[in-house]
Chain A
């Protein structure tokens, strides 16, 4: 089976006008035509799965994933109920939903699947699926938008989804159901009076569309907080669907973008946009935020700079690297560089005077490798205790995955690879608690390669981590 991949992405508007009454306004008709064009492109693609991130399905307890194989009901919009009703009967890939939920947990996220008769599927998902997949030919999966989630959580949600797309060989389409500017008119208007709520909103929407047309999705993602402040109603934390969609596309800035339509819906900015993964050949990243692999930590509540509460949250976010670097153990050192040393910026800095690895003949001896992340010093799965040595709950699987990722980076820097590992000594600070979880990750990774292995229980490690590995590998010929 070939690796799965995202073969296309779409951004589509959420309000029901395009489905129920497109004929009432030329702009709504234009959006409907763009929906139809997108549906045709999807139908003619190899897509075997539609993945929807909907901003009109808020959640509180982590993220929720629809897992009812055939949800049926009649949807009526809270605001635009006078436009009519939308009966639906969808084809949901419950197996994928379950696998995504499991992958979320492995990356430190809270999530759960939803499979209840009568669960109210949100307007954004209903409109998207009714128009993009009218005959239900392609199974779909829908995920909620957590009201407290910030960038790291939203990005990791996408990465967990990608884990499953790739491991199951899917050819998937990623879809965000969302408005651009989401400020609607707060009064009833006639259809012919519709326009973007303000010139400022229109200017920002066009800025976003210009970047999208250039395939610069990650740039839009990194402008998310600014966009939120400029043209979004402040209830939700951020313009987060762009974080999700960008992570679903490996945070790329060189996609092939096409804006199929941009129109107002009751004042909000509504666009149908197609992003093809084919590189347009230009558009490198101009700046990069920290790229998080595992989620750890609590969520912010509100992101406004205006409130005392929010400024505390912002401080947590803005200074996370510094705080984590200070809290997660002793002072960091630059790796030593004696002959045969192998060092890489993509592995965490040592806590003493030693290199990441040392080459001797055809063998590579790695220093003990833990899960700390290069750059931030953060610990996927969370530290095992706080600065006062009070124990914390942590995820041994996430830590073990992170250790193996760090080992891989060091090996690759030396010209070796994970499948050339021949001997591993593992140190666990809590054998009773962690052996099973660590052992499961081992079985999925190094266990498939088959190096010799020794697992030891020890009292402590220099940093607040639960697992460290000492590796010997062969060098590539």
Chain B
């Protein structure tokens, strides 16, 4: 069996506003558009990856929040209606997605062996979180690739950002090694925003772009700092500064996704591609791709 590999790693944020703005058939509410900069960013990401072969998408979603370890979706198919509990006016999405249970179980087992607390989610009544659905739709609207869905263990809340990073760096390493052992080609997605201070009010027309901007200058500075590291291949600095980023920008990377992603990509020192940046109800969001496949080709 050929060695598997991660062919790309992405930051793929999940605000339901992006799906709402796109008006896909699966989503009940309709809009007049909005957040085009970010949606075009997702378009560029999809275009960039359209010529690459891959078998599976691995997502870590901060909106499946688990306190007792890290969980993995463990049934082959999930179909239901996902209603965002915070923005139900924007996101009521009928989903039908497939899971690569084999790979999920392999990551689960390897993580368990290394001492992490893990659990497979095998309850057929379980509703997949809206973050996974949103990222899944925006990344691959055809839903024609199986997913591995990993929960967000809330160790930042329970302990500290440092403890979260220790756990997520370990889980990232395990994810990479398991993918390599599986023989599969995988794209891995951290489904998170950057700065994450919301507006506490909503416009009468949610997609009114005249009301959209970053919540504060400080949040903008943090987002640009992290994006600068991303674009210049300084991912170790992101890990180093993660506790301050989480605390001062209320960053959604507190859910572990970004640390896990960087670790799974083996702390890349080559530049990532920034496909788009924009704000959504004041939060900072970047669509980013680490083109591992290209980096490997360049290295050969």
Contacts and interface: CB of A to CB of B under 8 A. Distances in A.
A299 interface: yes
B32 interface: no
Contacts of A84: 123
Contacts of B154: 233, 235
Contacts of A74: 125
Given A59-B86, A60-B200, A120 B68 contact: no
A32 interface: no
Contact of B117 (A82, A187, A298): A187
Given A298-B200, A309-B247, A116 B158 contact: no
B127 A266 contact: no
B146 to A, nearest CB: 20
A266 B66 CA distance: 13
Best-buried of B85, B87, B154 by chain A (most CB within 10 Å): B85
Contacts of A308: 248
Given A122-B85, A233-B158, A307-B248, A187 B68 contact: yes
A177 to B, nearest CB: 15
Interface in A299-337: 299, 301-302, 307-309
Interface residues of B, number: 40
B225 to A, nearest CB: 16
A375 B119 CA distance: 54
Specify which of A80, A84, A120, A234 lies most central, judged by the most chain B CB atoms within 10 Å of its CB.
Answer: A120
B14 to A, nearest CB: 14
A85 B123 contact: yes
Contacts of A266: 68
A59 B89 CA distance: 13
A307 B247 contact: yes
Contacts of A234: 157
Interface in B45-88: 64-69, 71, 81, 83, 85-88
Given A61-B202, A116-B92, A188-B68, A81 B247 contact: no
A11 to B, nearest CB: 21
B85 A187 contact: no
B201 interface: yes
A184 B127 contact: no
Contacts of B127: 76, 120
A40 to B, nearest CB: 30
B248 A61 contact: no
A48 to B, nearest CB: 28
Contact of B81 (A62, A80, A82, A118): A118
For chain A, what secondary structure do more than half of its interface residues adopt (helix, strand, loop), or is it mixed? loop
A26 B207 CA distance: 52
Contacts of A298: 200
A118 B66 CA distance: 22
Contact of A79 (B68, B88, B247): B68
Interface string B106-128: 00000000000101011101110
A76 B125 contact: yes
Nearest to A185: B68
Nearest to A232: B157
Nearest to A302: B250
Interface string B133-168: 000000000000000000101110110000000000
Given A308-B248, A309-B250, 11 more contacts: A61-B198, A78-B64, A79-B71, A81-B121, A81-B122, A81-B123, A81-B126, A116-B92, A120-B127, A186-B155, A234-B157
11 contacts: A58-B85, A59-B85, A60-B200, A61-B87, A62-B200, A78-B65, A78-B129, A110-B201, A116-B89, A233-B158, A307-B248
Interface of B: 64-69, 71, 81, 83, 85-89, 92, 117, 119, 121-123, 125-127, 129, 151, 153-155, 157-158, 197-202, 247-248, 250, 281
